[in-house]
Amino acid sequence: MAKTSPAEFVRQVRQEVSKVTWPTRKETMVTTVMVFIMAAFMALFFLLVDQGLSYIVSLILGLGG
């Protein structure tokens, strides 16, 4: 593998960073809001699944009332 000088490395990094398409402020905000909505939805889903399974297990073991 060929060795690269630090100056050449920095030049290559700058060249690659210039190719990146950065998201706009609006895209970032929309994505952030969607992540929070999905996290809340999944938390509610797993809460309901956990409560349902807990109820079923307590019925099977005769601990439920």
Q: Is residue 43 one of the residues assigned to a domain?
A: yes
**DSSP labels, 15-52:** HHHHT--PPPHHHHHHHHHHHHHHHHHHHHHHHHHHHH
% of the chain beyond a pLDDT of 70: 95
Q: Is residue 7 part of a domain?
A: no
Provide the number of structural domains found in the chain.
1
Q: What is the pLDDT of residue 46?
A: 98
Per-residue model confidence (pLDDT) at position 3: 83
Whole-model pTM over 0.85: no
Confidence of residue 65 (pLDDT cuts 50, 70, 90): low
Measured in degrees and rounded to the nearest 5, phi and psi for residue 42 equal -70, -35
The predicted-structure confidence for 29-58, as pLDDT tens digits, reads as follows 999 999 999 999 999 999 999 999 999 998
Identify the domain containing residue 54 by its residue range.
Answer: 34-65
Q: In this structure, is residue 59 part of a structural domain?
A: yes
